[in-house]
Structure 1
């Protein structure tokens, strides 16, 4: 099968023919309909997040079940499915405690070594050399995925758009529902409204937030955030975001501030926006080694909580995400703003790096267009 391979950091993705092993016990072979274009992949491409090469990126996919490994139940060949980027092992101490977003095997085997949970990859190049897998390695015609990360897609949700459920929407659910515990009547600010930030805006609205303030440097993204449920927008190029948010909240600040980009400046902004006793939820992945200074005395004296959020819990949260989409409370049509043919995956990441993508982009497999 064909896949886009990152041979070395800083280089273009190369379309190659790879050998793919059959799914092993507890695994599913998915023919990929679409794969989301995520900034975390871009960090890997640029060498800002360490990952083995050669490797295949792409960690949010939709498609059809092509084959089932031994022991997989609840799925059938031909099912329309979506994958969560966290594919929990189900057996480590965190998974058994219900904290699948902290799965030790996912981080130790997949994120650090590019392998699945038997310690091997399912991909090899023409020379027989192993090729690392970032999550399920979705920038390919097919992907082998642990069944713990595969979910049947409800009818009526288009496959092309559904790809972003597995990271962008999944991550926003974890941040809003699990970590921030947004409640009806809360005031919320979202700093950086790209692919993840837009979903946080929409997810906060679905959870009943009364006021949602989107903060970004792009008027186009801010206008899109309004369609997703933002009640107010602040362009931080034009005005001080702290002053603007306090002016909108009777001088107090918000109950919850989400940071969805991953930079020292945006983290500091998020901390500055919360009221006394507020929650700051950090969602954006930063390049390795980036640190964020903030006023420690204010954080301590005003009881500000700074919380990290990475993904969500696949077994419980992906079904909840799918239900929200099926109910129409989370819309995908406005979120997917850019669609690239399979052969042009490298261009998609160059456009992402140049900030030419307004919302979320997907790379669509040839099978989805046939």
Structure 2
């Protein structure tokens, strides 16, 4: 099998197409163990979370085969897997919930304690890492998926079976972008009809939040990004108003007077997160979706919480229950209410993955898909 392996980080601002931090390596194709699946990857999708591992702002144990969002077909079944068939169409998700820890028992599988441990160590839910070079060198898994490859072994819990007729280029974006962005609106913030929403950051996650806020019948959906090239796409996704960060306060005042009901931060910036608290009304909520650098600190006036009833909510993977939410969101897509295909910038061969990092960092693409 081939997989794109990161052996050491490369600082942000580097030309990734020149430095080539991701190298397509030949690895030994592992067989699935009990509770696992072997999956042929059809398309993988490049996300800012991958870029943050490459530039070192998201710490992961290297050497690692990257990629965490993909669609594929089941090739082989491990012992004990009886609810999936060879040939099934599957979306892969990056939190393989165990079903029995505190978070899973509380109905919040995106916060699974066991998944957090194994995702952090580069292992799989049902055992240690399987990926190895021909010489026996261990290669860590990325979030239980390692999708920048032509094949992956994943925990059964990392796969959601979907209908055969869903186009692969659409399905590929549901495992992270749609789950995270739409889930931040529907699950974390629980946006209601008539409420107003501002969304900072118009990558695939932020644009998925725009779609979901529109679907929720928000009275105003204000989309903010410094890259004006993304503004028309946000309007196509359902935004009522678009602008740059310099426009945000004015647009919020025009749309919602003393502040919006919900602000969604999908940038990964502590400064933007702090500014969101100033843009919500009394009793409003800020949803933190982006992943700031681990060293970033948030400093805000404490009185905003008890004094004005404002809420700061963390949202990991959109507080999703993947087996419930992916079929639900696909249903909305079929009805034309969640036009996920708009997020698809283009498709390239996996050999161009480093060029893809450059284009993503520069804001030239939203979701680029790769075919091994």
- TM-score tier, shorter chain, comes to over 0.9
* Residues 173, 317 of structure 1: 8 Å contact kept: no
Q: What whole-Å deviation, never above 9, does each CA across 1:179-213 have from its counterpart, x for those lacking one? A: 10111111111011111100000011112212100
Greater alpha carbon shift after TM alignment, 68-77 vs 174-183 = 68-77
* Residues 90, 148 of structure 1: 8 Å contact kept: no
Aligned-residue offset at 1:155: 4.0
Q: CA RMSD in A?
A: 1.5
Structure 2 length normalisation: TM-score? 0.93
**1:285 and 2:291 matched:** yes
Aligned-residue offset at 1:91: 2.5
The count of corresponding residues between Structure 1 and Structure 2 is 360
Aligned-residue offset at 1:322: 2.6
Q: Secondary structure at the match of 1:289?
A: coil
Q: Secondary structure at the match of 1:167?
A: helix
Aligned-residue offset at 1:32: 0.4
| Partner Cα separation in structure 2 for residue 108 and residue 172 of structure 1 | 24
Q: What whole-Å deviation, never above 9, does each CA across 1:295-339 have from its counterpart, x for those lacking one? A: 323343211100000012223222322322233321122111132
* Residues 88, 314 of structure 1: 8 Å contact kept: no
Residue 155 and residue 331 in structure 1: after superposition, are their counterparts in 2 closer, same or farther (change >3 A)?
farther
User: Tell me, which stretches of 5 or more residues in structure 1 are unaligned?
Assistant: 366-370
Structure 1 length normalisation: TM-score? 0.93
User: Tell me, which stretches of 5 or more residues in structure 2 are unaligned?
Assistant: 11-18
Given candidates 177, 202, 207, the residue that maps to 2:211 is: 202
| Partner Cα separation in structure 1 for residue 102 and residue 169 of structure 2 | 35
* Residues 87, 314 of structure 1: 8 Å contact kept: no
| Partner Cα separation in structure 1 for residue 244 and residue 321 of structure 2 | 33
* Residues 160, 364 of structure 1: 8 Å contact kept: no
1:3 maps to 3
Aligned-residue offset at 1:104: 0.8
Greater alpha carbon shift after TM alignment, 206-215 vs 87-96 = 87-96
1:333 maps to 341
| Partner Cα separation in structure 1 for residue 233 and residue 48 of structure 2 | 18
**1:272 and 2:278 matched:** yes
Q: Which runs of 4+ in 1 moved over 4 A?
A: none
2:324 maps to 316
Aligned-residue offset at 1:289: 1.4
Given candidates 348, 352, 362, the residue that maps to 1:354 is: 362
